[in-house]
Amino acid sequence: MGLFNAVMSLSGAIDTDVIEDERLARHTSYRIGGRASLYLACHSYHALRRAVEVLTREQVPWVILGKGSNLLVSDAGYDGAVITLGREFQRSVLAEDGRTITVGAGVILARLVNDAMTRGLSGLEFAVGIPGTLGGAVSMNAGTRDTWIGSLIEHVVTYRPGEGMRHYDHDDVYWAYRETGIPRNEIILEATLRLEPGEKADIRAAMERYLVRRRRTQPVGSACCGSVFRNPPGRSVGAMVEECGLKGFSVGGAEVSCVHGNFIVNNGTATASDVLAVIHHVYDRVKEAYGVELQPEVKFLGF
């Protein structure tokens, strides 16, 4: 049993690309991370199911990876398999009603937002500039402080390893700030969103307003993972970090952004250890100053 047997079983499998010792820095927005023992691109549901069954049988740990926009990977990498969702999960289908759209989990969120605008569909303007895939956005209920993608979702399809597909209507799922009730042991395959018809000019103008605000308040274009910590109820992490005088604080190539205190950027030479050191320092200083124990929004792999 083990990695060798998994590679032998999956190499040449239909709809599956197999890469050994893949650098995960190529697959994260931080541009940081060591190698994964195995990197799998599964291009269909059947390929995904087979890959998970093989990895489970061979006792190889595995994770699902979207665009790596909310992830910090250890410098030592990940001693397991990273699975990404390929072609079959990168499709969008508009229903006959002209406003309900079913979207694969692998669809890039930016593409979905632009497609909605092109079709004259309103509701996703708030998501412009948010990186990552639809699956990742649904799993963390991505959005702004006040508007979340969960409010648009009518239906979600997942895969529970060992059991098969599961279906959830909107009211079956608990939706809250940066979290959902979708079980963590299930893989999101697709989601159906209900949008509203609108004028393209109005949709484009709203998108531009969101983009202008993001460019003004966030380090757009920098290598980072987005917000590092969740905002506690009624508080702003960025404001607390700034009040602690931590903007610009750095360890190695990792630095608290001078634009927004809840972003830690890679200035080009940062290691995962550098980022982790900055995270711990910010956590300690905020706890000391405010008595608040910050909860990470960023996910960690390989630590």
Residue 76 Cα distances to 22, 54, 175, 207, 274, angstroms: 12, 24, 34, 39, 13
CA distance 209 to 205: 6
Q: Which amino acid is at 43?
A: H
Q: Does the active-site annotation cover 297? A: yes
Burial of 241 (0-12, 13-18, 19+ CB in 10 A): buried
Q: CB atoms < 10 A from the CB of 33, how many? A: 26
38 SS3 class: strand
Q: Which amino acid is at 63?
A: V
Instruction: Report DSSP letters for 126-174, one per residue.
Output: GGTT--SBHHHHHHTT-B-SS-BGGGGEEEEEEEETTTEEEEEEGGGS-
Q: CB atoms < 10 A from the CB of 259, how many? A: 16
CA distance 48 to 32: 26
Would strands 71-73 and 299-301 be described as parallel, antiparallel, or unpaired?
A: parallel
Sheet of 187-194: strand order equals 92-94, 100-104, 187-194, 153-160, 164-169
Residue 181 Cα distances to 146, 148, 149, angstroms: 19, 14, 14
**Which of these is catalytic: 178, 194, 204, 230?**
178
**Which of these is catalytic: 22, 227, 255, 257?**
227
Q: Which residues pair with 251 in a beta bridge?
A: 254
* Residue numbers annotated as active site: 178, 227, 297
